[in-house]
Structure 1
Amino acid sequence: MKVAIITDVHGNASALKAVLRVIDQRDDIDHIYCLGDMVGIGPDTNEVLELLFARNDLSMITGNHDEAVLAIINGEPHPDGHIHVKEHHEWIAERMHRNFITKLEKLPRTIQHIINDHSVYFTHYHMESKKLDEHISLNPFSKIVEPNLNNLEMLFKDHHHDLIGFGHHHPTHLFRNDRTIFLNPGSLGCNGEPVAPYAIVTIESTGIQVNLEKVNYDNSSFLLSYKSLQVPEYEFIIRAFHGGQQA
C-alpha cells in the first residue's frame, strides 16, 4: 500500500492544490492522510476545507489551530497558550463557512491502523493519553521538542508503532530506530520558499519506505492576499511563517 501524508496546510490553497495535482497525476496512491492544522495563518480557509472534504480518498485529524478556531465559533474558552493569535483565530472564525463547522467537529485527533502487519499511528503532535479528550483550551498537545531521534523516542515513549506520523512543528522530521519511523513531512503551507513538502510512504509486509517530496508552486497571489484581505498581523506572519518572501 502506498499513501501520501500531508500536514499543516494552514490555509494555503495554492500549495495544497499544487500537491494534490501531483498526487492525482500518479496512479499508485491508495490514500491521503492530512495530519491537522488545515486552517489558521493563511487566509484560504474555505477553499482549503472544500478541497479536502470533497475527496473520498483522504482522512483528516484536527490540529491545535483547527480546534482553537472551533472553540471561538462555539463560544468556548480559547487556549491561553494561543492568546497571541486569538485575534487572528477570530478573523478566521468569522469567515469560515458554516457548513464546515460540523465536519471539522466530527474529525478525530488520532488515527491508528494496521496496514500490511505494520502499526501506523497519526496525530497532529504528541498528547499524553490522559489528555486525549481534553478541550483545546487546556493545551493538551505536548511541548514541541527539537527534532532528533532521542527527543522523539522520549516524547513518544508510550507509543509502540512501526510508523508515527505527525505535524505541528513545521520543519521536516525523518528519524528511524530499530522499531519505529518518526515522520513529519513538514508544513505544506508554511515555508520560507515557494515549495510545498509532503511524503509518500510505501507500507508492505516486508517493511516501510518513506520518500520525502516537495512541489514548487507560484505563491505570489497567496502572499499578496495577506495584505489585500488585511489578515491580522500579516506582516509578522509573512516574516515568521513564509521567510519574509516578497510576492
Structure 2
Amino acid sequence: MKIAIIADIHGNALALEAVLADLKQRGGTDQIVNLGDCISGPLWPRQTMELLRKLDAITVRGNHDRQVATLPVETMIASDRYATSQITQQDREWLGALPQSIVIAPGIFACHATPDDDATYLLDRIKNGGLVRDAETAISARLGNGAGNCKIVLVGHSHRPDIVHTRNGITIINPGSVGCPAYDDDEPAHVSESGSPHARYALLTIDENQPAALPDIELLAVAYDHEKAAQRADENGRPDWAYAIRTGFSKQSL
C-alpha cells in the first residue's frame, strides 16, 4: 500500500498542483492523507478549497482550519481573516467538521500536531528562537497513548519534514509543508524554516504481507513557480510571506 502525505498547504494552490503532478508522474498512490492547515494565508484559499474538494483525500483538521471555521472574523489573525474572506460559509463548515485525528488504515494514525492538541509540536522544541527536533523521550511523552496501538503516526504543524522511530517502535512522519516553507510565530517567539522554497510531501509504502516491518518513506521536495506565489503574497500586502516563499527562511531570523 502506498500513501501520499501532504500537510500545511496554507492556500498555496500552485504548490499543491505541483505536488499532485509529481505524484501522478510517480505512478499515483492508493490514498492521499492531508494533515490540515489547508487554506490560511494570503495566497489562493478559494482555489485550494476547490482542489481539495476534488481530491477525495482523508483530511484532518489543523489549528488554522479550526480557527477559520470557528473564530469571529474580527478576532482572527491576518492570514485566517484573508482566507475566510475568500471562501464560502459551506467551506468553513467543511473545515470545522473535519476530525482532529483519525486512524486511516490498520496501524496508521493521523493528526495535525499531537493527538490531544492541534497547536502543540510533536517532534519539535524551540531552541535559540528556532525549531529543532526534540529528545525522543519528550516526543514519546507528548504522543502518550493518543495513537492507540498504531505503529505509524502522521503529523504536520511544524512545516519541518522529519522522521522519528521511537524506542517503543512507533514511526512518526512529518512530510513538511506543501505551501509555506517558513514562518514566524510569537507565542512564544520563534521561527520555523525549511531552508528552501520547495513544495514538500512524503510517500509512505507499506508491505501488507509484513505489517511489523519498517515502512519505506520518501521525503520529497518539488520545485514549482514559487516566485509567482511570492508575488501573490506581495500583492496581498504580506512581504513576510513573500520572503519566506522565495527563500525558505523567515526574515525574523536575520
TM-score, scaled to structure 1? 0.80
Q: Which of 75, 87, 99 is 1:96 aligned to?
A: 87
**Residue among 201, 205, 214 paired with 1:202:** 205
Structure 1 residues 238 and 157: alpha-carbon distance in aligned structure 2, compared to 1, 3 A threshold: same
Gaps of 5+ in 2: 126-132, 182-194
8 A Cα contact 1:63 1:124, kept in partner: yes
Provide the aligned length of Structure 1 versus Structure 2. Answer: 220
Tell me if the contact between 1:127 and 1:142 (Cα under 8 Å) persists in the aligned partners. Answer: no
* Alpha-carbon distance between aligned partners in 2 of 1:211 and 1:87, rounded to the nearest angstrom: 34
Q: Which residue of 2 aligns with 1:16?
A: 16
Q: How does 1:1-247 map to 2 (within 5 A)?
A: 1-56=1-56, 58-72=57-71, 75=72, 86-115=77-106, 119-128=107-116, 141-142=119-120, 145-146=124-125, 147-148=133-134, 149-158=136-145, 159=147, 160-177=149-166, 179-191=169-181, 192-205=195-208, 206=210, 207=213, 208-230=215-237, 234-239=238-243, 242-243=248-249
- Following TM superposition, by how much is the alpha carbon of 1:95 offset from its aligned partner in structure 2, in angstroms? 1.7
DSSP 3-state at the match of 2:150: coil
Contact 2:6 2:32 in 1 (8 A): yes
In structure 2, what is the Cα distance between the partners aligned to 1:210 and 1:61?
A: 20
Please list the CA deviations of residues 19-53 of structure 1 after superposition, one character each: whole Å capped at 9, or x if unmatched: 00111223351010000001112421011111111
CA distance in 1, matches of 2:202, 2:121: 24
Among the aligned pairs, what percent are the same residue? 25
Does the CA contact (< 8 Å) of 2:230 and 2:242 recur in 1?
yes
Amino acid at match of 1:47: Q
State the Cα deviation string for residues 59-118 of structure 1 (Å, max 9, x = none): 11110111111123xx4895xxxxxx6233222211223342232232211110444xxx
Q: TM-score, normalised by structure 2?
A: 0.78
> 1:124–1:168: 8 Å Cα contact kept in structure 2?
yes
- Distance of 2:225 and 2:250 partners within structure 1: 15
For residues 224 and 166 of structure 1, the distance between their equivalents in structure 2, rounded to whole angstroms, comes to: 29
- Cα distance in 1 for residues equivalent to 2:21 and 2:33: 15
Q: Is the CA contact 1:194–1:218 (under 8 Å) kept in the aligned structure 2?
A: no
SS in structure 1 opposite 2:36? coil
Distance 1:42 1:33, change over 3 A: farther
Aligned to 2:94, the other structure's residue is in SS state helix
Q: 1:216 & 1:236 partners in 2: Cα distance?
A: 21
User: Relative to structure 1, is the Cα distance of residues 219 and 99 closer, same or farther in structure 2, using a 3 angstrom cutoff?
Assistant: same
CA RMSD of aligned residues (A): 2.4
Structure 1 stretches of at least 4 aligned residues deviating more than 6 Å after TM superposition: none
Q: Could you tell me how far apart the structure 2 residues matched to 1:199 and 1:229 are?
A: 30
Residue 81 of structure 1 corresponds to which residue in structure 2? Answer: none
Q: Distance in 2 between matches of 1:163 and 1:42?
A: 33
Q: Which amino acid aligns with 1:222?
A: A
Unaligned runs of 5+ in 1: 79-84, 132-139
Is 1:127–1:141's contact at 8 Å kept on the other side of the alignment? no
Cα pair 2:7 2:35 within 8 Å, conserved? yes
Instruction: Look up the SS of the partner of 1:62 in the other structure.
Output: coil
Q: Which amino acid aligns with 1:121?
A: F
Q: Residues of 1 paired with 2:158 and 2:90: CA distance?
A: 29
